[in-house]
Amino acid sequence: MLRTFRLLPALAVLGGLLAVSPSSAQTPAADPLAGLPHPPDVPRSLMAPAPAAPYGCADLPEPYFVRDALLDPPDFPRPGWFLNAELDIVGPHIIGVQTNTVQIGANAPDVVSLPAAALDWTVAPRLQVGYRLPSAFGEFALAYRGLSTSGNATTAGLDGLAALHSRLEFNEIDADYLSREFALLPCWGMKWHVGVRLAYVYYDSRADEPTDVAAVGSTVFEQRFSNSYWGIGPHAGVELERRFEGTGLSVVGRIDGATLLGRVRQGFFETSTTLGAGGQFTTGETRLSGSQDVPILNLQIGVAWQPPSYPEAQVFLGYVYEQWWNVGKISSAGTAAQLVDQGILLRLAINF
């Protein structure tokens, strides 16, 4: 009886709760963060479909690769295809003497030590074709440069004076990315480039004596040396320009450096007046090869002119200096030579 009496209050409270109307029980509480942004509702179950509310990044206000009034000013090269034709009127020099021994048959070995004759001045053309992107996104370019020259002199042979003849040629290909900075300083501009260079260099020297003089002496009437190098590696550079507003004139300085990794191949040769079994002159040779790194430095300074009435063209006239180190070096053989050229540079740049 006492236990039943204690249960009556609990039953009364439960009856009161059940008597609450359903409408009042479902009234949502006030949201204290109603004024703040809310992420989209996610499905309450992984099996339910995703909500249809859009969610993502907004579209960019401007498209890429279109001309910009600030980044593509009218007095600077316009976007599109361009062509640079360059003529370097240079006097190249081979610095170094190549020395090694050569043996003909059973004769005692002779020392072949030939310098390079003074080479003639020549023209080294360079042609560059590329495409310039708008909005200062830079340029892509492919360039080829070549040089060929020769020279004559007199040198000491084994039996007296000998006529010395030397030749030089090289070819290089550059694949580059170029970018321009307009806001360096007032009236100043900067252009830098980086890329890959492939190069081939060949030079040789030949000393010839009269055969009648050689026949009564050492019997060697011709000595010859050849050197070839090919290499590939990175190169980069920067160009600074100081413009004089309203004249179309500017002073331009440029520096370019490269380091190529490749291989040097050398040959030393002799020809004797002694006849062999087939009735031909007997010869001897020594060949060497080795891997070599070749640093290259190119410096340019001069004056450029952009016609105000034709801004798609620019003419540059200046001085160029270039040096190739170790182009004739094989450390194991003790041979070493450098290539140096300098002269006048004339460049014509045209935008299509």
pLDDT(313) > 50 = yes
Which pLDDT score is estimated for 10? Answer: 56
pLDDT in tens, 4-56: 555 555 555 555 555 544 444 455 556 666 666 666 655 556 666 665 655 55
Percentage, residues of the chain above pLDDT 90? 59
Contacts of 174 (CB under 8 A, 6+ apart): 128, 141, 142, 143, 144, 145, 195, 196, 197, 235
* Distance separating alpha carbons of residues 327 and 229, to the nearest angstrom: 7
Bigger pLDDT: 78 vs 266:
266
* DSSP-assigned letters across all residues of 121-176: PEEEEEEEEEEE-STT--EEEEEEEEEEEEEEEEEE-SSSEEEEEEEEEEEEEEEE
* Distance separating alpha carbons of residues 277 and 77, to the nearest angstrom: 69
Which pLDDT score is estimated for 316? Answer: 96
CB 204 within 8 A of CB 165: no
* Distance separating alpha carbons of residues 143 and 80, to the nearest angstrom: 17
Confidence category of residue 143, pLDDT binned at 50, 70, 90: very high
Which pLDDT score is estimated for 293? Answer: 96
Bigger pLDDT: 261 vs 352:
261
Query: Hey, how many other C-beta atoms are within 10 angstroms of the C-beta on 335?
Result: 21
Which pLDDT score is estimated for 25? Answer: 47
Q: What is the mean pLDDT of the chain?
A: 85
Nearest of 122, 119, 127 to residue 145 by alpha carbon? 127
Beta bridge partners of 260: 294
- What 8-state DSSP symbol labels residue 324? E
Task: Give me 309's structure tokens.
Answer: 């009435």
Nearest of 214, 203, 109, 127 to residue 162 by alpha carbon? 214
This prediction has a pTM of 0.77
Q: Cα-Cα-Cα-Cα dihedral of 170, 174, 180, 185, to 10°?
A: -30
* Distance separating alpha carbons of residues 238 and 189, to the nearest angstrom: 11
Give, in words, the CATH class of 83-351: mainly beta
Helices (H), the chain: 2-18, 22-25, 211-215
Which pLDDT score is estimated for 155? Answer: 92
Beta bridge partners of 176: 141, 195
Bigger pLDDT: 47 vs 259:
259
Nearest of 262, 201, 195, 260 to residue 233 by alpha carbon? 260
pLDDT(282) > 70 = yes
pLDDT(142) > 70 = yes
Range from 31-45, 96-110, 231-245, 272-286 carrying the lowest mean pLDDT: 31-45
Range from 65-69, 86-90, 98-102 carrying the lowest mean pLDDT: 65-69
Which pLDDT score is estimated for 264? Answer: 96
CB 213 within 8 A of CB 227: no
Bigger pLDDT: 308 vs 37:
308
Chain center to CA of 271: 42
pLDDT(348) > 50 = yes
Range from 2-6, 35-39, 164-168, 247-251 carrying the lowest mean pLDDT: 2-6
Q: Which residue has the tokens 């200062």?
A: 136
Confidence category of residue 298, pLDDT binned at 50, 70, 90: very high
Which pLDDT score is estimated for 220? Answer: 94
Mean pLDDT of all residues in 322-332? 93
Contacts of 180 (CB under 8 A, 6+ apart): 76, 136, 138, 139, 189, 190, 191
Q: Which residue has the tokens 């209050």?
A: 9
Confidence category of residue 189, pLDDT binned at 50, 70, 90: confident
3-state secondary structure of 307: coil
Bigger pLDDT: 201 vs 352:
201
Mean pLDDT of all residues in 290-316? 92
- What 8-state DSSP symbol labels residue 333? G
